[in-house]
Amino acid sequence: MASLTADAIVCAVRAHGEHGAILRALTRDAGLVAGYVRGGRSRRLRPILVPGNLVALELRARTEDQLGGATVEMLESRAPLLAEPLAAAAIDWITSLTASTLPESQPYPALYSALSAVLDAIGAASSARQWAAALTRYELLLLAELGFGLNLEECVVTGSTDDLVFISPKSGGAVSVGAAAGYEDRLFRLPPFLRGQDASPPMGDVLDGLAITGHFLDRDILDGRNRDLLIVRERLTGRLGRAVA
């Protein structure tokens, strides 16, 4: 029998049968895992099976290929954050993205740590300005972990490491001021925080960063197919834009 005991971040919950639920959760060492929670729709378990919550997960299956039975205990509830629309939209997006794009049972410890950090930042911050950059960096990391990392360290045209202020929507490579001359309107503006140069970027830079990561997530991972997931992201970026205005 395959078994797993680990702390896990709830990423998605789907009703199954009359009383149960299918849980998808991210663990540090086992990656994204799924399991059937008996009574998952009960009054006792519903508050635990909330995306963003940290739970103690026990998963047991007869074979590696079988959907295992899961039991959960609350370690940290982030449900109170869902009362705030902007925080709720961010948690909805980042957990849905994780559940929808990561292959199961492959470890992504860096993503686990980054997701934990984003959720902690949302819980601790008084405004989106203090967590939106971390969310954008998570998207950038997810692209890299899935094999679609962007080259932000040198100009894709000249190889120069200086004056990198644009990024090509085709290659995903940075472009220097000189190489971009005459083509600026065809390129994304590259905000310094995506290269680790600004720990507290203005929200305008964050929105520019989200435009970049959104473009490549849609093209390379979502491939325009998961429209429901894209709507979740559009809801979030729309709220962030209104927060700046």
Segments making up each domain of the chain, as ranges: 2-77, 80-244
What CATH superfamily classification does 80-244 receive?
Answer: Recombination protein O, C-terminal domain (1.20.1440.120)
| Structure confidence at residue 7 (pLDDT) | 97
> Which tokens in the block code for residue 79?
């449900």
| Structure confidence at residue 1 (pLDDT) | 44
Sole residue written with tokens 């220097």: 176
Handedness of CA 102, 107, 108, 112 (dihedral sign): positive
Q: Which residue type is seen at 109? A: P
What CATH superfamily classification does 2-77 receive?
Answer: Nucleic acid-binding proteins (2.40.50.140)
pLDDT by residue for the chain (245 residues), tens only, comes to 478 899 999 999 998 878 889 999 999 999 999 999 998 888 899 999 999 999 999 999 776 667 889 999 999 999 899 999 999 999 999 999 999 999 999 999 999 999 999 999 999 876 787 799 999 999 999 999 999 999 999 999 999 999 999 999 999 999 999 999 999 999 999 999 999 887 788 999 999 999 999 999 999 998 766 778 888 899 899 888 887 65
Intrachain domains 2-77 and 80-244 with the same fold: no
Instruction: Label each residue of 46-107 as H, E or C.
Output: CCCCCCCCEEEEEEEECCCCCCEEEEEEEEECCHHHHHCHHHHHHHHHHHHHHHHHCCECCC
| Structure confidence at residue 61 (pLDDT) | 79
| Structure confidence at residue 244 (pLDDT) | 66
